[in-house]
A = this chain, B = another copy of it.
Amino acid sequence: MPSPWETKIAPVNGIKRIEPGDQLGEIIAAALKRSAFQLIDDDVVVVTQKVVSKSEGRLVRLDLVKPKKKAKELAAELGRDPKIVELALRESIRVVRKGHGVLITETRHGFVCANSGVDLSNVDEGYASLLPLNPDASASRIRKSLEKATAKRLAVIVTDTFGRPWREGQVDVAIGCSGIAPTQVLAGKKDPYGYLLKVTQPAVVDEIAAAAELVMKKLSLVPVAVVRGVKYSRDESGAKSLVRKRSLDLFR
């Protein structure tokens, strides 16, 4: 009897603490090799934003951040650290919401998230991490490096942990991807009852990001996972194509 498990998720253990300049693709390939884990064609390698940002030097020494007036006022209003607010504002194109100690911004990429993704967790004390400048390009670089090291056709997704309007808790979403189409377009197809689906378009890369988070370990340095068995299309439209156009967005 064939295995019933269509999709499987493995954490990648043995990734060292990442420093600026580190070549993530090579480091992931080496960690897989040490654990005798063989990638196969169409595996999806999921990498958390934090290690991508570190490898790209997207770290800021907090003692060098001088909050401007707007950041100081906003920080006072929200009861937050003015340096983090300063960085969040620098990384943003606008403030979407503020209140209850929370600052929701729109980043230059078009992502809407807390503090523009500026984060103090899993970095050296005294530093903050910023989102990669171009997470799709980051995913592409890691994919090419991993494909070279393994001689397999792969996809890479860069994830971050976002809160959601109306719902408690956070889920990981794709902020960058390469080698995989971000969505599966079912709109235009008929379901088994003959109904023509009109808008159905699962955000596959976000679903894989969420699935991978189930094996990631924020408390014990497991920032990479492999997801096998997902049927997906390949394209390079990137996670940027998931950002809804302002003209179509009811929530901007």
Residues of A within 8 A of B (CB): 1, 4-11, 35-37, 97-100, 102, 104, 110-112, 120-125, 161, 163-173, 182-183, 186, 189-195, 197, 199-204, 206-208, 210-211, 213-215, 218-221, 226, 228-230, 241-244, 248-252
In contact, A9 and B11 (Cβ under 8 angstroms) = no
- Note all chain B residues with C-beta closer than 8 A to A203: 164, 167-171
- Measured in the bound complex, the distance between the Cα atoms of B124 and A220 in whole Å is 49
In contact, A97 and B251 (Cβ under 8 angstroms) = yes
- Note all chain B residues with C-beta closer than 8 A to A206: 167, 169, 171, 210
| CB closest residue in chain B, given A231 | B214
In contact, A37 and B191 (Cβ under 8 angstroms) = no
- Note all chain B residues with C-beta closer than 8 A to A208: 214
| CB closest residue in chain B, given A50 | B191
**Beyond A7-B215, A167-B242, 9 additional pairs, beta carbon < 8 A:** A4-B11, A6-B215, A112-B165, A122-B195, A125-B193, A161-B202, A168-B183, A169-B183, A171-B202
